[in-house]
């Protein structure tokens, strides 16, 4: 019985990790991938606008006791590319 429960939990975690990830987007012929707090310096492009993936925020809050899920969701895929930044827009 314990093995069956562990297998179901493992399958559920795999499904969750695939359900709310940041989506890549091709902008002007270049593919931009999502980023998180851990890989921000490697992936964030200052000329691209990003938005928060609220599904990841929700899953991180729900699975906060597991420690691994929030680290993954917030650390590697909390922001996803939307499009090029508007150069006419005033900075915030």
The pLDDT tens digits of the residues spanning 21-31 come to 788 899 999 99
d(CA 15, CA 91) in angstroms, rounded, equals 38
Within a domain: 61? yes
Within a domain: 89? no
| Domain span including residue 38 | 2-84
The pLDDT tens digits of the residues spanning 23-67 come to 889 999 999 999 999 988 888 899 999 999 998 898 889 889 888
Within a domain: 66? yes
Within a domain: 91? no
Within a domain: 90? no
Using alpha carbons only, what angle is made at residue 27 by residues 24 and 33, rounded to the nearest 5 degrees? Answer: 25
Within a domain: 55? yes
Helix (H) or strand (E) holding 40: helix 40-43
Number of structural domains (the chain) is 1
Residue 89: pLDDT band with limits 50, 70, 90:
low
């Amino acid at each position: 019985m314990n093995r069956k429960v562990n297998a179901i939990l493992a399958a559920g975690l795999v499904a969750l990790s695939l359900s709310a990830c940041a989506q890549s987007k091709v902008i002007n012929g270049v593919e931009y991938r999502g980023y998180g707090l851990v890989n921000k310096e490697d992936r964030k492009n200052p000329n691209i606008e990003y938005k928060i993936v609220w599904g990841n925020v929700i899953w991180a809050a729900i699975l906060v006791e597991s420690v691994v899920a929030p680290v993954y969701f917030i650390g590697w895929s909390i922001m996803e590319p939307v499009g090029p930044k508007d150069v006419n827009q005033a900075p915030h």
